[in-house]
Amino acid sequence: MRTQIFSKADRPFDWFDIHSPDEEELELLAAELNIPGIYIQDILQAEHLPKTETIGEDDTVFLIARAIDPGNGKLEFNSIKEISNKIAIYYSQDRIITIHRRHFPWLEELIRKSHSYPLDTSPFRVVSSILKQSFRSFEPALFRMNADLEFYESKLLESEHTPPLARSLYGVKRKASVLQQLFTVSGSLAEFLKSPENPDPIAQDAYDMFQRINTLAEDVNERAASLINLNLAISGQRNNDVMRFLTVYSAFFLPLTFLVGIYGMNFEFMPELKHPMGYAATWILILLTTGFHLWWFRRKKWL
């Protein structure tokens, strides 16, 4: 569906918003507005990553941004395509064309408010506002993952008997990694916003929003990695405690088993077999050996 938001009759530029176009409709649009066919193919590819590309010599710019899928309320995703949807923007000094397949409430709200913009509003300011809102759409997801990390962090440190949480932590880290990857490849959009040829407060505001969301994604990713390492360290410490206990336990009985094994061989001509104090001497040796080990382990603070 094609809607004209602005026209040159009352603004310095045209703005067309196209929702859920098919291939035939896009080809007709390309022919009507003289858009190269290669960009139509980019629009049709649902998995296309963000990009910025200048077309021709008239400073026309083709942008692809991604915004979070408004229907993914549970935030179940493992790839960029699953969490976000594409919005293509064909932008020049006298025309803006926004093309998207999904319904974006924030875009409708921006279109509604755009009619109150000053008459001399530039197309660059409108594009900057669109990019700002596309970046902001990721904020709730990152806040929710940040809250999940705080919950898992408290559970991890709650008790030494807390069950392993590595799988849950990895799930959060995987989501944060996907978002961080998305914002890494969106860097060209941020560079476009801070272009010195187009200084504008809205553009700077959109760039600040990009930096804020990108920093938040990095923070969530790093905290998730830190908690995973902390969980592994705590699990390793528990295993070390168990192994130390078993080692100390074995050290007590190893020399005792050695002594009992020797005096249990029952050879006929063994010394001390018929000595009247042989049995008592053996017990004294066993107790002294045990006492020595107990003293040594406590001195080393292993007990």
- First and final C-alpha spacing in the chain: 76
Dist CA 202 CA 20 (whole Å): 28
CA dihedral 82, 84, 85, 90 (to 10 degrees): -140
- What's the pLDDT at 131? 92
123 torsion bin: left (phi>0), alpha (psi -120 to 50), beta (else): alpha
- What's the pLDDT at 129? 92
Condensed to tens digits (0 to 9), the pLDDT of residues 277-290 reads 777 877 787 788 88
- What's the pLDDT at 197? 63
| Cross-strand pairs, 86 | 66
Low-confidence spans in the chain with pLDDT less than 50:
none
- What's the pLDDT at 127? 92
Domains of the chain, first to last: 2-235 (3.30.460.20), 244-299 (1.20.58)
DSSP letter assigned to residue 222:
H
- What's the pLDDT at 132? 92
- Which amino acid type is present at position 238? R
